[in-house]
Amino acid sequence: MNTIVAGLSLLATPTAQEMPQVTASRAPNVIEVEGQGVAQWRIGMMVTILAQSIHDRSPLPLHDAQVLGVSQTRATLRILGDLPVGDLQGLRVAPRYEVEAALYGPRRRGSKLAATASSSEPPRKSPIVFHKAPQPIPWGDPLWLEMTSPASFEFVEAHVRLGSQGSYTAHRLQKQSIEGHWGGSVPLEQPQSKHLGVDYFLIGRLGDTNTFLVGTPSHPKSVRIKSAPQKPKRAIMQHNPLGRINTKQNLELIIKLNNRYKLPHAHVRRAGDGAFKDFPMKPLGPRVFSVTIPAQYIRLPHIRYYISAKDDEGLRLPGFASAMAPHKVHVTRGKILSDNSHRNRLSLSGDWVVNRPGEDEYIRTTVRYERVFFPFLLARMGFLSIEGMALRQNPQGELQAQELKLTGGEGGIEIRVKDYISLVTDLQAVAYSKGSALGHRVGLRIGDDRGAAIGLSYGAVRDVDDWSFVGETGAAYLSTPLGSRWRLTGRVETDDLYQDAQRSLRLLVDVSGRVWSQLEFNAVGGTTTRDGDRLGAVGRLRLGWSF
């Protein structure tokens, strides 16, 4: 403010002595004033603290303040802004509307701020100034200010601040090529997000007097700063999210981290947990990090996670998903007979059935290939061969064992719904002694390969030539796990296929398991009957290899 000189000779006059005076400071921005003029003040009123000078009769505003309390001739004021106020002891205070009237309006007779004007001195005329406020400036660009005036100024200064509560900085404008034209570029500090504009005012020196030309410190001109350009979005990391795992699998997360970030962490939350658990990721290669969540930590029916990393300033930022929107991975029960990491299975099975009394026995051989296309879809195809004897009626109506020999193929799919319901359908085509037949089978299973499960199925076969009924088959089973690698299943099967004269009923016990990680086997044993008058035994062995 030392470069802004305005006369305050009125402060030495008897009329000016009636203005309230600063008497004490109670806090950094709270002061007390006392004087006869306080009686006319009210709470919330805006006032101005005046600096003392002797150069002319115009008051020099120093600080704006607001009235917090009034008691007769004493008042408490709060100084606006966050600038250090220094020692204000003894300075005069006047209502801001009177200061503005004295600075910018016609002088009123009887005004305290104009009471000392000498009738012998002609009123000072303000110089004519032409100035247009700049348009909004782009973020980071300098501020260009210019003005034109016929007055001969010794210099012209622009006082600029960022925001509405910063401190002013003086910048000299330069004379341009045209007489009376002043202009200059004012560099600005890097704005912050809270700085929405630039405030400025212009002063000029005429003779030995500094004169406000455009704006004042308390009522500056403003120029808006355009919004900061958005930083280009750079991926913090690259990551291929998982969609489904089982409870026997480790959750392995791998990312490729941008070189601007470091110290990635995986934040994992199981179903039912309220908070995320942090797992620091370890370097696997150049900018490649990984972490393995053990299978013991994984819980049905899902698990959620997001991945974060620290930037150059140490701020941890989410790079994949976030705590508010974590990625969801469905968790299914792991299979006992095949790990989900194996998508193919080749199996060979053989059935041996014998009934007594009489020659009533056969051997069934099946080769099958299965392929998992999706977590919910399994397809299979295979070949079957049956050789042995079957009971048939001779022309005399007596049961007689006759040769049974057929070959064929089968194919089908299994669709899993919600991890515990499976729908099965198969088609079968065979050639036997009476011709060719086409059959189908449908089934339903409730449960999964790790927990208990129940299921049933029904199938029918018809002759291809005349579509006559060849036979039907049905089955039901109940299965339960025995530890982590073994399973026990009870089965009931019935059929009267391929011209059998009697229906067969089989009661079976199936023990299945897995050796190492790829070899599977089933051992089945039980009894069979022929309409209740023939008893027999059933044996079945199956070997499978997953890859």
Model confidence pLDDT, tens digit, residues 224-271:
887 655 555 567 888 988 888 877 788 899 999 988 888 999 999 988
How far is Cα 394 from Cα 401, in angstroms, rounded to an integer? Answer: 9
Q: Judge if 375 and 489 occupy the same domain.
A: yes
**What CATH number should be reported for the domain holding residue 55?**
2.40.10.170
Let me know whether 368 and 484 are in one domain. yes
What is the distance of C-alpha 261 from the center of its chain? 18
If one counts the domains in the chain, the total is 4
For 207: left if phi > 0, alpha if psi spans -120 to 50, otherwise beta; the answer is left
Q: Quote the pLDDT of residue 10.
A: 41
Residue 140 identity:
G
Look at residues 310, 332, 354 and tell me which one is the last residue of a structural domain.
332
Mark whether 28 and 89 lie in a shared domain.
yes
Quote the pLDDT of residue 96.
Answer: 82
Band of pLDDT at residue 426, cut at 50, 70 and 90: very high
H/E segment holding residue 104? helix 96-104
- The pLDDT value recorded for residue 191 is 59
pLDDT mean over 90-94: 84
pLDDT digits (tens, 9 = 90+) for 69-91: 888 888 988 888 655 566 777 78
Q: What CA–CA distance (Å, rounded) separates 501 from 533?
A: 13
Q: Are strands 327-332 and 244-246 parallel, antiparallel or unpaired?
A: parallel
Q: 3-state secondary structure string, 256-318? A: EECCCCEEEEEEEEECCCCCCEEEECEEEECCEEEEEECHHHCCCCEEEEEEEEECCCCCEEE
The pLDDT mean for the chain works out to 79
CA distance readout (Å), 400 to 393, 403, 470, 504 = 6, 10, 18, 16
Q: Do residues 414 and 532 share a domain?
A: yes
Which residues touch 446 (CB under 8 Å, ≥6 apart)?
420, 421, 453, 454, 455
The first and second tokens of residue 446, run together, are: 């409730």
Q: Are 525 and 438 found together in one domain?
A: yes
Q: Which residues pair with 268 in a beta bridge?
A: 277, 305
Residue that finishes a domain, picked among 197, 224, 251 = 224
Residue 127 lies in a domain: no
Instruction: Tell me: do 369 and 444 sit in the same domain.
Output: yes
Which pair of tokens denotes residue 436? 């060719």
d(C-alpha 78, C-alpha 84), whole Å: 13
The answer on 478 and 506 residing in a single domain is yes
Cα–Cα dist 282/237, whole Å? 14
CATH number at residue 500: 2.40.160.40
Is residue 318 situated within a structural domain?
A: yes
∠ CA(174), CA(180), CA(185), 5° rounding? 30
First to last CA, the chain: 86
More confident residue, 22 or 338: 22
Per-residue tokens: 437 = 């037949």
Are the C-beta atoms of residues 139 and 226 closer than 8 Å to each other? yes
Burial, 72: exposed, middle or buried (Cβ in 10 Å; 0-12, 13-18, 19+)? exposed
Has residue 134 been placed in a domain? no
Are residue 389 and residue 442 in the same domain, yes or no? yes
pLDDT exceeds 90 at position 402: no
Q: Which residue has the higher pLDDT, 524 or 500?
A: 524
Residue scoring higher pLDDT (49 or 485): 49
Is the whole-model pTM more than 0.85?
no
pLDDT of residue 187: 85
- Which long-range contacts link 66-73 to residues 24+ away (Cβ below 8 Å)? 67/41, 67/42, 67/43, 68/30, 68/43, 69/43, 70/38, 70/41, 70/42, 70/43, 72/38, 72/39, 73/20, 73/34, 73/35, 73/36, 73/38, 73/39
User: For the chain, how many helices (H) and strands (E)?
Assistant: 1, 36
Same domain? 289 vs 325 = yes
The structure tokens listed for 171 are 């910048």
How far is the C-alpha of 360 from the C-alpha of 500, rounded, in Å? Answer: 11
- Domain that includes residue 257, residue range: 237-332
Q: What is the CA radius of gyration of the chain?
A: 48
- Residue 391 belongs to some domain of the structure: yes
Query: What mean pLDDT comes out for the span 14-41?
Result: 78
Q: Is a pLDDT exceeding 50 seen at residue 6?
A: no
Determine, yes or no, domain membership for 109: no
The answer to whether residue 379 scores a pLDDT higher than 70 is yes
Q: What is the pLDDT of residue 30?
A: 85
By DSSP bridging, strand 288-293 and strand 282-285 are: antiparallel
* Phi, psi dihedrals of residue 14, rounded to the nearest 5°: -60, -35
What's the CATH number where 247 sits?
2.60.40.10
Closest by CA to 522, choosing from 532, 507, 512, 530, is 512
Rounded Cα gap, residues 518 and 483, in angstroms: 18
**Residue 93 near residue 49 (C-beta atoms within 8 A):** yes
pLDDT the model gives residue 28:
74
Q: Is there a domain that residue 128 lies in?
A: no
Q: What percent of the chain has pLDDT over 90?
A: 18
Is 184 inside any structural domain? yes
Residue 309's pLDDT band, with cuts at 50, 70 and 90, is very high
- 241, 288: one domain: yes
Average pLDDT estimate for 480-497: 83
Does residue 12 surpass a pLDDT of 80?
Answer: no
pLDDT of 94: 87
Average pLDDT over residues 372-387: 85
Residues 316-340 as b or e (16 or more Cβ within 10 Å = b):
eebbbbeeeebbebebbbbbbbbee
Structure tokens belonging to residue 517: 């990680």
Please give the full DSSP string across 475-542, using - where no structure is assigned. EEEEEEEETTTEEEEEEEEEE--TT-SS-EEEEEEEEEEEETTTEEEEEEEEEEEETTTEEEEEEEEE
| Lowest mean pLDDT, pick from 293-302, 314-323, 337-346 | 337-346
Q: pLDDT, tens digit, for every residue of 359-374?
A: 667 788 999 998 888 7
Nearest to 443 by CA among 452, 456, 454, 453: 456
Render pLDDT for 320-349 as a digit per residue (tens, 0 to 9). Answer: 998 899 999 988 765 433 444 577 888 888
Q: What is the pLDDT of residue 331?
A: 84
Say if 414 falls within a structural domain: yes
Residue-wise pLDDT tens digits, 140-192: 788 889 999 988 888 999 998 887 767 788 889 999 888 889 999 888 876 56
Task: Please report the pLDDT score of residue 4 as a whole number.
Answer: 33
Q: Is residue 370 domain-shared with residue 425, that is, in the same domain?
A: yes
Identify whether residues 350 and 411 lie together within a single domain: yes
pLDDT at 391: 66
Q: Please identify, among 332, 364, 392, the residue that sits at the C-terminal boundary of a domain.
A: 332
CA–CA dist 269, 278 (Å, integer): 9
SS3 447: strand
Q: Which CATH number characterizes residue 158's domain?
A: 2.60.40.2440
